[in-house]
Structure 1
């Protein structure tokens, strides 16, 4: 078994994928107590450290893993994205403070990379990490890796790629950025997409291996309806409106541009408001902290169960929880689909660790050919009829009330500084 040091482990989304590719998590560091409890429940053999990365010395991480410097085959982790607001940490030309206890999570990851010197590393984060013009976090990481090389004599040369998970067989629309590098300077080549949303055969002229996206039905179509609906019913002001929205649609169905009742203005709400899964499409991104009317919801007009969300996240079968709905949703919504980790782990073994694994993907959902027709729509309840009207559309990007408010606040702050 190849040896893994896991940081910001969460519920174990990355680790589960590496596990299926023949890696063993020797230690997992995680701040959230509910995630640590869930890891211990499902993988009692993993050494778990509950704590802040900037308060846990690298020597403790190595000791709990039973490893010396340089012995880990790979360091993996997904630092939380909240530190991206701390742009003061990332002024170019400033020396990176990797040992400063006030450092952000990215610096914490870099410090452990420097101190443990694994054969390879993988870092994942939200797609915004690499947005052009807003890539301070990415530049901070690349500068930090260069500093690690200079201090330690390593030769990590990171490859960076934005991965659209549905293009690799995950039955969910989710984007993540990955950085992968090898201690000896080998360049990692990311695997090309294997799945597409196009249902015609045009793409087969150029790429015969391209398959249609895996869908929500592929992921959860074989599961029976839960016998206990406690915690799954959608309450609040809008719960009774969801049965009147077709599969694969959201509140936009009830705007003047579409076929429902004109209850809302076009694009005046968040996309995920009253969003319902379609049996014939991938799921939309599972949310970590959804409001009462924020989906995606099941086509049976209820919230998704723990097992269904695990399937959509391509987690291994049989996971258990002993936490509440809020904590469970946050852990699953923040996780990386394990199938993506499994795919990358296979390539890392082959390209960087000289240990190819001759077996197929274990977390790829099976394709289910017999897809039932869409669920029958319910009429709009009478209590919503008073909302029918000629609602104004959203005025456009940067012109909404919140955007104008933010612009005014920024102008006021600029005047104060000047």
Structure 2
């Protein structure tokens, strides 16, 4: 790359000869190649993009920084995370790697260690990771039952203000679907969500109380104008939560946004049930977010046995019906997923391999940018005239090159200025990890 100093660029300048996924450029100024990329010159002035044109044509818009065909993405959006649990692996490992082991480890750690200072520092660590990787918006689920719930939401509110202008934050209140029927537990959830402008959530599983729990969630969402964001059919092959969710949304003619996370049981349903359920989901306007890395880690784990059920939901079949689909980070370095770094490029890279999001690549890059941004209602995820110049530049000239090497090196611009992309040192949290 040659030209402008990206840490101190002029008032008006041009990123020349960039390659961008065409699905992230609403007004295409040029032809699209076989991988779905368009070659662009991108004019910037101050914080914003002022013009897009075919590569090599913006010769009068200021000094040029030549990218020589390198890949550029807009600000990325992580639609499903758990920032309250993040980065506790060192002090709360999941010793057998199972879902039950994760629940036990998190429950014990939450009771012992989740003070305001602990949550605040781990939240900030996670957001520094995401920021360095080019993420501009995050939705997090917050465990919202028990005496620690208010503390987590209070810290979330502080972090939302502290990080305003760098990462837009939303939160979902999370309790078990059986607990929704408990008056005290549900009142706590609803009060916290309303106080902090969040969304109603729950995690569903096989239970005789599923319909009653969903009905109460829908009624509260309708009464208070809230969106719904649920964990659905994550750990049980026989789960029918997605079907029940879609039927209830249609019966109630619910008009608010609904996001269903995981939906893993769909991968092992028979063809008739898949068709019936996905048709209902499409009619109900439900969006789906898959969490491929976490589900691969947890599901079908038995000591000494190679896993068969890999837990990824039916992204291709959903997308073909017009259902909005996305992928996200989910858990990071906690008992539910021992790895991860809130890097959506890593998430997309793994999702592309796991779920065959290639041949052709088509508009799949939208699932970490345009689609989650639209669902969150934030300005991000596309390159267009007038949008903020939040961009990531990669040392790759094609999607094949981009997906072929570990996604570490990148240059991140925020408001047109290069930021420090060094991720925080794990040692920053060492004193927290020494707690019992």
What TM-score do the two structures reach when normalised by structure 2?
0.26
- Normalized per residue, the structure richer in strand is 2
Bigger CA radius of gyration? 1
What TM-score do the two structures reach when normalised by structure 1?
0.27
Between 1 and 2, higher relative CO (CA 8 Å, sep ≥ 6) is seen in 2
